[in-house]
Homo-oligomer: A and B are copies of this chain.
Amino acid sequence: MITVICGGVGAARFLRALRHLDEQLPGGHAFAGPVVGVVNTGDDTTLHGLAISPDLDTITYTLAGAIDPVRGWGLVDETWVAMASLARYAAIRPDGSAAAPTWFNLGDRDLATHFYRTARLQEGATLTEVTGEIAAAWGLGEQLIPMTDDPVSTIVELADGREVSFQEYFVQLQHGVPIRGVRFAGATTAHLQPAAIRAIRDADVVVIAPSNPIVSIGPLRALEGFDPLLAARRDTVVAVSPIIGGAALKGPADRMLTELGMEASVVGVARLYAPIAGALVIDPVDAHLAAEVEAAGVRAIVVPSIMSSPEIGAELARATLAAAG
């Protein structure tokens, strides 16, 4: 069993790469077997009464082959009629604020997923149950587990002192403003999902996906028991660096690391993950930093990490799993 600790886009692509690996293994499915994703829910939000789980949906849609390849999020062949119609209501509040914000785009096809999730949660189902049902509806072979069924909200403290939700920072402000802190509201009382605990404990290999270490992997690490679970099996935990050549492939991970006083490099990532991962996969462009990564106490595995083709993705997946021995 392979368990992948997941944020959104980077994790979705790594999970897809595991499938490519599977396809390429000649005859013997050396690494084939159950694949479990334990997924960040700190980005989850409620909009217009709808329960939105961005990372879970990005992974589901990617693995279903239904993700929009250009945007990298949401469904392909999407329409935007509902959101466009919301504009009528966006401007009528006495105080000018938007009760039903239009800055968070929900496509018409995508809405069905939020309808289903919201309806099931209101029936009393857990997010874990609903997530499994949605994955089944899309025909996924992988098991997806939200990190917790309890509410956890990533809160970003901007440099000017204001606190905003992750989605406000990421989508509304387009992560274009400096920050000075991140916290995870609810994390101290939320429970790491028991199925996630088992998946981490029982996996042959645990991979920390190339996701934002602060706001994608950070919420998982804020849950009691998460770091100790990985630390206890650190030699078979391999992280894939989301920082390549000092920059994030996508999103604000590089700037966030710098703004929070860390190094926006594979070395900074290695220091962050040293307590919980025995190895870090880095791109050849960062090979010159391998010694510094190892000085942080983490083995450096050099392999092309930009999953720009199925072949590169499969080789990244192979090398990552091999790094766990």
Contact = CB atoms under 8 A, between A and B. Distances in A.
Contact of A100 (B46, B99, B115): B115
The secondary-structure label for the interface of chain A is helix
Nearest to A115: B48
A85 B109 contact: yes
Contact of A109 (B46, B81, B119, B134): B81
A246 to B, nearest CB: 40
A39 to B, nearest CB: 19
Interface residues on A, range: 35 or more
A50 B46 CA distance: 12
Nearest to A50: B49
Interface in A234-277: none
A116 B134 contact: no
B100 A116 contact: yes
A252 to B, nearest CB: 27
A86 B100 contact: no
Contacts of A81: 79, 81, 108-109
A162 interface: no
A27 B93 CA distance: 36
B109 A89 contact: no
Contacts of A30: none
